[in-house]
Amino acid sequence: MKSTDFLARLNAWLTRHPLKTPSESFRASYVEEVMARIRTTPRPSPVLWFPRSRLALALGTAFAGVLAFAVLMNRAPSQMARQVEQDWQVLATVGELPELPLGDLTEEMQAIDQMMLAQAEPALDEEAWIDETLELLNDLDEEPEVSSDEEVLEEWLRELEVLDEEELASSYVPS
């Protein structure tokens, strides 16, 4: 539709249905009449809630929310696990199992372990460090060679410290 056609139709409609506005002298009475109609409309009565019903509603809502959360959280991991298992079965039947980059994953885990060891706080005193070292040796079912000579023991501890530092320095891979 062209704008001239629209304007012509609008003018024709406005001449048939003229807009009515109150004249200057009747404006105040018109406003009063409209306001009187608005004021006479009945207001809805407020709903009275008793304290027990409020408490029951609040507790019911909280219980429903917790129940919904528990159901959804228990359902989501099991559905995902089932879906992964089904996908693997489909891939196995087709014969196209994807190769997982386990080598990269292992290397990443070793690098993360080394970073964690490097960032670990050192023992505050030598006795604690000795105890930790002896615990590690015990976990590995190794018996340390302990002699009664204190110089040999100190030399052995220094060698362990140097080995630890060398292993940590050589195994650090910057990312």
pLDDT at 63: 94
Which residues in the chain come in under a pLDDT of 50?
Answer: none
Torsion, Cα 29 30 34 36, to 10 degrees, reads 10
Distance CA 123, CA 133 (A): 11
Encoded amino acid at 60, one letter: G
168-to-1, 115, 157, 161, 163 alpha-carbon distances in Å: 81, 9, 16, 11, 8
pLDDT at 101: 64
Token pair recorded at residue 116: 């964690």
CA dihedral for 129, 134, 138, 141, sign (positive or negative)? positive
pTM for this prediction? 0.23
Distance CA 144, CA 132 (A): 13
pLDDT at 62: 93
What beta strand segments (E) does the chain contain? none
pLDDT at 11: 87
